[in-house]
Chains A and B, each alone.
Chain A
Amino acid sequence: MSGVMSSLSTPGNVVVSRRAVTEAAWLRGLLIALALAFLGVFLVVPLVLVFQEAFSKGWQAYLAALTEPDAWHAVKLTLIAAGLAVPLNVVFGVAAAWSLTKFHFRGKQVLITLIDLPFAVSPVIAGLIYVLVFGSRGWLGPWLEEHNLSIIYAVPGIVLATVFVTFPFVARELIPLMQEQGVSQEEAALTLGASGWQTFRRVTLPSIKWGLLYGIILCNARAMGEFGAVSVVSGHIRGKTNTLPLHVEILYNEYQFAAAFAVASMLALLAVVTLVAKSFLEFKHQRDRERAAHAAARQEVS
Chain B
Amino acid sequence: MSRNRVIPGFGLSLGYATLYTSLIVFIPLAALAASGISLGAETFWAVVSHPQAVASYTLSFGASLVAALINLIFGLLVAWVLVRYTFPGKRIADALVDLPFALPTAVAGIALTALYGRNGWFGQHLESWGFKVAYAPAGIVVALTFIGLPFVVRTVQPVLEGLERELEEAAASLGANRWQTFRRVLLPALVPALLTGFALSFARAVGEYGSVVFISGNMPYRTEITPLLIYSKLEQYDYAGASALGMMMLVFSFVLLLAINGLQYWSLRRRGGG
Contact = CB atoms under 8 A, between A and B. Distances in A.
A111 B161 contact: no
A113 B108 contact: no
A43 B257 contact: no
A267 B227 CA distance: 25
Interface string A147-188: 000000000000010011001100111011101110100110
* Chain A at the B interface: SS class: helix
B172 A20 contact: yes
Query: Which among B12, B99, B178 has the greatest number of chain A C-beta atoms within 10 A?
Result: B99
A130 interface: yes
Given A49-B111, A218-B150, A133 B105 contact: no
Contacts of B121: 45, 49
Contacts of A36: 81, 93
B28 interface: yes
Interface string B195-223: 01001100110111110000000000000
B18 interface: yes
Contacts of A180: 159, 162, 189, 192-193
A35 B121 CA distance: 21
Interface residues of A, number: 115
Interface string A105-138: 1101111111111111111111011101100001
A20 B112 CA distance: 41
Contacts of A95: 12-14, 16-17, 20
Interface string A248-279: 11001000000011001001101110011001
Interface residues of B, number: 112
B4 A102 contact: yes
B78 interface: yes
Contact of A46 (B24, B26, B112, B199): B112
Contacts of A293: none
B108 A248 contact: no
Contacts of B159: 176-177, 180
B173 interface: yes
B51 interface: no
Contact of A112 (B32, B155, B261): B261
- For A106, A120, A133, A211, the residue with the greatest tally of chain B CB atoms inside 10 Å of its CB is A120
A45 B125 CA distance: 15
A224 interface: yes
Nearest to A140: B31
B102 A224 contact: yes
A120 B1 contact: no
Q: Tell me the interface secondary structure of chain B in the complex.
A: helix
A16 interface: yes
A109 B262 contact: yes
B24 A115 contact: no
A218 B111 contact: no
B41 interface: no
B171 interface: yes
B39 interface: no
A159 to B, nearest CB: 11
Contacts of A110: 258
Contact of B254 (A50, A113, A133, A267): A113
Nearest to A96: B17
Given A120-B207, A128-B243, A176 B31 contact: no
Nearest to A137: B239
A172 B200 contact: yes
A103 B10 contact: yes
Contact of A275 (B7, B27, B95, B261): B95
Contacts of A187: 4, 6-7
Contact of A50 (B28, B107, B226, B242): B107
A19 to B, nearest CB: 6
Top 3 closest A-B pairs, CB basis? A20-B172, A271-B102, A120-B253
Interface of B: 1-4, 6-10, 12-14, 16-18, 20-21, 24-29, 31-32, 34-35, 74, 77-78, 80-82, 84-85, 87, 91, 93-108, 110-112, 114-115, 121-122, 142, 145-146, 149-150, 154-155, 157-159, 161-162, 165, 168-169, 171-173, 178, 181, 189, 192-193, 196, 199-200, 203-204, 206-210, 226-227, 230-231, 234, 239, 242-243, 246, 249-250, 253-254, 257-258, 261-262, 265, 268
6 contacts: A20-B165, A21-B168, A46-B115, A176-B155, A218-B154, A225-B104
